[in-house]
Structure 1
Amino acid sequence: MKVKLITRRYLNILCGLVMIVAAASNANAQHRSEEEIKRIQDAKVAIITNRLNLTPEQSAGFWPVYNEYSQKRREIHRSQRKIINDKKAEGKTDDQVLNNLKEVQDLRQKELDLEKEYQSKFLKTITAAQVIELYKAERTFNDMLIQRLKQRN
């Protein structure tokens, strides 16, 4: 009975996510409104909450740390995209292109360092098994978004 309830809950969340992503995919992906971004983030929170099965105490300690982590990670990804998109290789010397590649590698290392730092912060409020589930939930969510965008195109 409990497994059916959890499975049904998970399926309801996934159906909601698909509807949200479908609505969001109708708009230009690079010009999403704040409302659409909020709906996508809400779906992500629902999936993570469901997968981690957080207690109220864990939830109170986890979400502020996770939100901080997510914001810092988004900033790193924006910097990577800016380097890759703004600094085209055309007309540049090999040294200039190699310098751009080094900048991207440095940002990847920064992201890895951030993950290590926040893993220890997560472990103060959730278990190691829940941290693994967090990473799986993030990957599942991202894969679903990518799949939805591919279907749109």
Structure 2
Amino acid sequence: MKNQICIFISAFLLTLAASPMTAQERRQDGGNRNKWEESMRAEKIAYFTEALELTSEEAEKFWPVYNKCEKEKQKAFDSQMKALRSLDAAVKENKSDNEISSLLKTYIDSFDKRNEIDRKYIPEYQKIISDKKVAKLFLTEEYFRRHQLNKLKKGGAKPADKQ
């Protein structure tokens, strides 16, 4: 238990250090969003560290790589949402089939970009953790996502499903 607490604290500090928000951005936001993001990040670290059974050495190496991957995936997701909005606008504006086809291709291609990021990082993870833990990482991400959605639906915290 003591080892898990040390792992959690180490991982939490690493994640906070990697936070892209500046102090000025935090002040402008009023702190609410930042508090929510920090709380979510802390919960995610604890959840993943426990689910993956990361040792302190693994956690120290794993979290910087994971955070870098997540930043890349967030950029890809932002592009995906931009493509979706463009596609939606084109349909609503009754654009030509050629324009819509091009936007549809861009949107579909954005999914491939996110998958490419996962493919790119698997070898990086394998340098740090076992293949079994890499597989558990992808499962844990899905379980955590479902857990968060469930919390939103219920309006409160509920233990995550680990299927």
- TM-score tier (shorter): 0.7 to 0.9
Shift of 1:78: 1.2
Please, what TM-score do these two structures have when normalized by structure 2? 0.70
Gaps of 5+ in 2: 5-31, 156-163
How many residue pairs are counted as aligned between the two chains? 123
In the alignment, structure 1 residue 136 sits paired with structure 2 residue 155:
no
Deviations along 1:110-132, one digit per CA (max 9) or x if unpaired, are 11111111001000000000011
> What residue is the counterpart of 1:94 in the other structure?
97
Tell me the distance in 2 between the aligned counterparts of 1:95 and 1:146.
Answer: 37
Please list, as runs of the form range in 1=range in 2, the aligned pairs for 1:2-151 lying within 5 A after superposition.
Answer: 33-87=33-87, 88=89, 89-91=91-93, 92-151=95-154
AA in 2 matched with 1:144: H
Tell me the distance in 2 between the aligned counterparts of 1:149 and 1:100.
Answer: 32
Shift of 1:133: 1.0
Tell me the distance in 1 between the aligned counterparts of 2:113 and 2:37.
Answer: 25
Gaps of 5+ in 1: 7-31
Tell me the distance in 1 between the aligned counterparts of 2:100 and 2:121.
Answer: 32
Tell me the distance in 2 between the aligned counterparts of 1:36 and 1:133.
Answer: 26
> What residue is the counterpart of 2:20 in the other structure?
none
- Indicate the structure whose relative CO is greater, using CA pairs within 8 Å and at least 6 residues apart: 1
RMSD across aligned C-alpha pairs, in angstroms? 1.8
AA in 2 matched with 1:132: A
Tell me the distance in 2 between the aligned counterparts of 1:56 and 1:99.
Answer: 48
Shift of 1:85: 2.3
Deviations along 1:7-48, one digit per CA (max 9) or x if unpaired, are xxxxxxxxxxxxxxxxxxxxxxxxx61110111111111110
Q: Is the Cα–Cα contact under 8 Å of residues 48 and 137 in structure 2 kept in the other structure? A: yes
Shift of 1:148: 2.2
Please, what TM-score do these two structures have when normalized by structure 1? 0.74
SS of alignment partner, residue 33 of structure 1 = helix
> What residue is the counterpart of 1:21 in the other structure?
none
